[in-house]
């Protein structure tokens, strides 16, 4: 299946190259897409881009000082094709993105017909009136800011532990988005979503109930340059302070997975699925000014019934990932486009979910050659579990986005 998608993409690009006489090329600058075309009658547009992340990870156990064995791994972390543009009218936009690396497409199950989960985004966005937009399809839910920021626009090599435990990722459904402006600068953005509740590429559903997500964003000093609130690091060197603060609430009705719409399925002994209501709350903020950037997030998750129980009252061993987490990070971009950054993350799981306390401290450095489109990033993390040393982790990653 993976080779099939690759072949389709190559053939599609070849087709476009043979039909440039029917289109006009509008932008071929590095980082702006491999192909960027608009129909002669302006009835549609399409930009095709690709991006790759090459990652090296070294982990050294810190709880055993006598051990010097390093767990070393080289990985194509992400490899993706992305298509976006408009259809019929600039008010009707679309985005289609597929993943090709094993990390991108893993997670297939009986609920995805045991197929690779190659489709990341397949969504249309209709600006039907003023500052109102209706989205339909599969894409990221309006969740925590760290998750919504593209993996290609991160301040560190990858997202924090908060995101890995508590984010609500992608799902299929509809979203309604709106923007208000109060006075000269104050902007408020509202986003609500109704989705299937079981994650992306599910074909055998709906197993539980629907998922309802709401997010409100406050920008008291106006909007960021070039949508910088959805991109880490202050690459635009904001000349006036810019702040976005937001709150999120997500309710997954009759959820059947351990982490709302992510994680393992909660199977009972008879093969059926355990259902419980799962609620996730986020509060986050991002601030930028003259090369300095700060980002903070808080997450909390609870469940109506956190332990999966069979009909006879016995526990299956599966539990919902309930608890809370805090992530704080900051960085400063030098005139040479080197950035130095630091991050602190904690995870506090409730006793019912294991009761472990995890703390991670990370120092990072990035060199931006062409913004986030061509960059080299490295970071060093020290992790403790329940106050005891666990591991040191060193990572080095190269990002290339055409």
Determine the average pLDDT of the residues in 62-81.
85
Identify each DSSP E strand in 236-275 by its residue range.
242-255, 257-259, 262-265
What is residue 10's predicted lDDT score, i.e. its pLDDT?
A: 52
Query: Is the pLDDT assigned to residue 24 strictly greater than 60?
Result: no
Which of 97, 91, 95, 84 is CA-nearest to residue 45?
84
What is residue 30's predicted lDDT score, i.e. its pLDDT?
A: 85
Report the 10 Å Cβ neighbour count for 133: 18
pLDDT in tens, 339-365: 999 999 999 999 988 889 999 999 999
3-class SS of residue 322 = coil
2-401: CATH number: 2.40.160.10
pLDDT band at 246 (very low <50, low <70, confident <90, very high): very high
Angstrom distance (rounded) from CA 173 to CA 329: 32
Query: Is the pLDDT assigned to residue 207 strictly greater than 80?
Result: yes
Determine the average pLDDT of the residues in 267-272.
93
Residue 290 · residue 234 · CB < 8 Å: yes
pLDDT in tens, 50-64: 999 999 999 999 877
Cα–Cα distance list, 320 to 259, 264, 304 (Å): 6, 10, 10
**Predicted TM-score (pTM) above 0.85:** yes
Angstrom distance (rounded) from CA 234 to CA 254: 41
Determine the average pLDDT of the residues in 167-176.
97
Angstrom distance (rounded) from CA 29 to CA 36: 10
What is residue 32's predicted lDDT score, i.e. its pLDDT?
A: 84
Report the 10 Å Cβ neighbour count for 317: 8
Sketch the domain layout of the chain as residue ranges: 2-401
Angstrom distance (rounded) from CA 213 to CA 11: 38
Element spanning 130, H or E: none
Sign (positive/negative) of CA torsion 305, 307, 312, 316? positive
Total number of residues shown for the chain: 402
Query: Is the pLDDT assigned to residue 17 strictly greater than 60?
Result: no
pLDDT in tens, 371-398: 999 999 999 999 999 999 999 999 999 9
Angstrom distance (rounded) from CA 62 to CA 383: 8
Report the 10 Å Cβ neighbour count for 187: 19
Residue 243 · residue 224 · CB < 8 Å: no
77: left (phi over 0), alpha (psi -120 to 50) or beta: alpha
pLDDT band at 9 (very low <50, low <70, confident <90, very high): low
pLDDT in tens, 252-265: 999 999 999 999 99
Determine the average pLDDT of the residues in 25-35.
73
Phi, psi of 311 (to 5 degrees): -65, -25
């Amino acid at each position: 299946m993976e080779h099939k998608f690759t072949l389709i993409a190559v053939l599609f690009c070849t087709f476009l190259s043979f039909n440039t006489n029917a289109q006009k090329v509008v932008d071929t600058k590095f980082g702006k897409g491999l192909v960027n075309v608009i129909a002669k009658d302006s009835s549609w547009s399409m930009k095709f881009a690709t991006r790759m992340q090459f990652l090296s990870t070294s982990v050294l156990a810190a709880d055993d000082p006598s051990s010097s064995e390093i767990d070393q791994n080289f990985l194509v972390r992400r490899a993706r094709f992305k298509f976006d543009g408009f259809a019929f009218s600039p008010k009707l936009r679309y985005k289609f993105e597929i993943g090709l690396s094993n990390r991108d497409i893993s997670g297939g199950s009986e609920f995805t017909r045991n197929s690779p989960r190659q489709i990341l985004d397949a969504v249309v966005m209709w600006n039907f009136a003023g500052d109102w937009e209706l989205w339909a399809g599969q894409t990221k839910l309006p969740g925590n800011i760290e998750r919504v920021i593209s993996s290609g626009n991160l301040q560190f090599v990858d997202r924090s532990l908060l995101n890995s435990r508590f984010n609500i990722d992608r799902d299929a459904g509809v979203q309604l988005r709106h923007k208000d402006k109060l006075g000269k600068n104050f902007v408020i953005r509202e986003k609500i979503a109704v989705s299937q509740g079981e994650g992306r590429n599910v074909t055998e559903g709906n197993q539980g109930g629907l998922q309802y997500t709401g997010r409100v964003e406050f920008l008291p000093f106006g909007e960021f340059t070039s949508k910088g609130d959805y991109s880490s690091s202050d690459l635009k060197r904001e000349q006036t302070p810019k702040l976005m603060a937001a709150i999120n609430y997500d309710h997954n009705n009759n959820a059947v997975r351990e982490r709302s719409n992510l994680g393992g399925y909660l199977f009972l002994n008879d093969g059926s699925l355990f259902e419980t209501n799962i609620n996730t709350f986020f509060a986050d903020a991002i601030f930028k000014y003259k090369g300095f950037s700060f980002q903070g997030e808080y997450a909390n998750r609870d469940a109506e019934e956190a332990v999966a129980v069979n009909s006879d009252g016995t526990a299956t061993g599966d539990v919902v990932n309930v608890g809370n987490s805090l992530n704080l990070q900051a960085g400063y971009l030098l005139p040479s486009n080197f950035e130095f950054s630091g991050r602190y993350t904690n995870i506090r799981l409730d006793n019912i979910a294991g009761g472990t306390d995890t703390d991670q401290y990370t120092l990072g450095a990035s060199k931006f050659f062409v913004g986030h489109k061509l960059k080299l990033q490295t970071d060093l993390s020290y992790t403790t579990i329940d106050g005891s040393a666990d591991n040191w982790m060193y990572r080095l990653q190269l990002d290339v986005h055409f």
